[in-house]
Amino acid sequence: MQYITYNSTSIYNNGIIYISKDSRDPVSARYPVRLTGYYAALIKQQGDAIWKQCMPDLLELEDNSQCPDPLDEKGLSPVPCLIHRYPDRVVLLVSNRCAVYCRFCMRKRLVGCGDAPMGEDELRKALDYITAHPSIHDVILSGGDPLLLDDASLSKILAGLRTIPHVAIIRIGTRVPVTLPERITPELCSMLRNFHPLYINTHFNHPDEITGESGTACAMLADAGIPLGNQTVLLRGVNDSVETMRALMTGLLAIRVRPYYLHQMDLVQGTAHFRTSVRTGLEIIRGLRGHVSGMAVPHYVIDLPGGKGKVAILPDNVEMQGDTLLLRTYTGELVTYQDITTPQE
């Protein structure tokens, strides 16, 4: 494996290390590179789980078989920056910046590229669209990372959404607690608490990301009354073992974050070297269920190509023979269970 090392092109500013596009480096010329001082300091050695997530790799350029947008997010976008796939909820792409550009990102085609996606005009159009569709009850702010917006810009978007009576809940997807925990300030938290019910799903992938700093960031958000969930991406060489996932998922509960999804990697161009088999994912779920707190077990989901939506899959634990079920327990024992129902008249 060949890694590119960055030295002279890094500028440290406000906790973020900016690495300029460098035409001498083919990876960053195609896929932007950025990391924070905090996150970089979590690297213990070259090639470890943190390194792999944030340092560019030439393998990104070798994967040309896959599609930049397999989930057809573009096709599901009736107005700019809005993805409407399910009847009752939409995703708003409010930022195309992140504190760290994850090398496995499913929106690799967008993040770190071009201008900020959501200007005044796009925001107005997105709010109009949501207003015109009363079936939309749940709005998910995503990107990029919504918490890379400044407090005033984010507050403006949230306030706009809260003028729409049928928007029941708002969610924010953010990796900032993991990659730039100092962004979670008392000011941000007191702004966010004006917009309840507000949920945050964060994105921890490895137990080494659970630190005093990220724990404090999550505690501040939780103390602002925001229920915290977590979405983990299953990544080869990073977290594709039962042992690592047990430590991660139980560690998250200890910092008041409830595991929500474990994502099978999307078939996104430039990320093939991170992909594991679905069998691996199922083995991990099998290694969690029953062995650790049920609260620590996420749904394992595959987001189907073509925008068909997320499907949750489970290890095969049931065999049905009429009204008799043969169920596999977490220890592997097969137990018969009679499906008894009261006859209906």
Residue 102 touching ligand SF4 (CB under 6 A):
yes
Residue 91 touching ligand PLP (CB under 6 A):
yes
The residue from 25, 69, 81, 89 that is catalytic is 89
Which of 287, 285, 207, 218 has the alpha carbon at shortest distance from 258? Answer: 218
Residue 175 touching ligand SF4 (CB under 6 A):
yes
Residue 263 touching ligand SF4 (CB under 6 A):
no
- d(CA 104, CA 124) in angstroms, rounded, equals 32
Residue 130 touching ligand SF4 (CB under 6 A):
no
Which 296-325 residues touch ligand PLP, going by CB under 6 A? 310
State the binding partner of 33 from ligand PLP, ligand SF4, none, CB within 5 to 8 A by kind.
Answer: none
- d(CA 326, CA 320) in angstroms, rounded, equals 6
Residue 3 touching ligand PLP (CB under 6 A):
no
The residue from 39, 57, 69, 102 that is catalytic is 102
The residue from 81, 98, 101, 183 that is catalytic is 98
State the binding partner of 170 from ligand SF4, ligand PLP, none, CB within 5 to 8 A by kind.
Answer: none
Instruction: Extract the tokens encoding 22.
Output: 């460098």
Identity of the residue, 240 or 266, whose beta carbon is nearer to ligand PLP in the bound complex: 266
**Min CB(88)–ligand PLP separation in Å:** 9
Name which position in 19, 35, 43, 83 contacts ligand PLP (CB under 6 A): 83
Residue 42 touching ligand SF4 (CB under 6 A):
no
Which of 36, 48, 160, 50 has the alpha carbon at shortest distance from 94? Answer: 160
Q: Is the dihedral of CA 111, 114, 115, 118 positive or negative?
A: negative
Residue 145 touching ligand SF4 (CB under 6 A):
yes
State the binding partner of 102 from ligand SF4, ligand PLP, none, CB within 5 to 8 A by kind.
Answer: ligand SF4
Residue 86 touching ligand PLP (CB under 6 A):
yes
- The answer to whether residue 151 is catalytic is no
Q: At what angle do helices 120-131 and 151-162 cross, to 10 degrees?
A: 20
The answer to whether residues 289 and 93 touch, using CB atoms and an 8 Å cutoff, is no
- The answer to whether residue 105 is catalytic is yes
The residue from 108, 266, 275, 300 that is catalytic is 266
Residue with nearest beta carbon to ligand PLP: 85
Residue 105 touching ligand PLP (CB under 6 A):
no
Bridge partner residues of 292 (DSSP): 289
The answer to whether residues 330 and 289 touch, using CB atoms and an 8 Å cutoff, is yes
Q: Which amino acid is at 233?
A: V
Query: Which residues have a catalytic role annotated?
Result: 85-86, 89, 98, 102, 105, 107, 266, 303, 310
Q: What is the contact surface with ligand SF4 in residues (CB under 6 A)?
A: 98, 101-102, 105, 107, 111, 143-145, 175, 203
Q: What is the contact surface with ligand PLP in residues (CB under 6 A)?
A: 83, 85-86, 89, 91, 140, 310
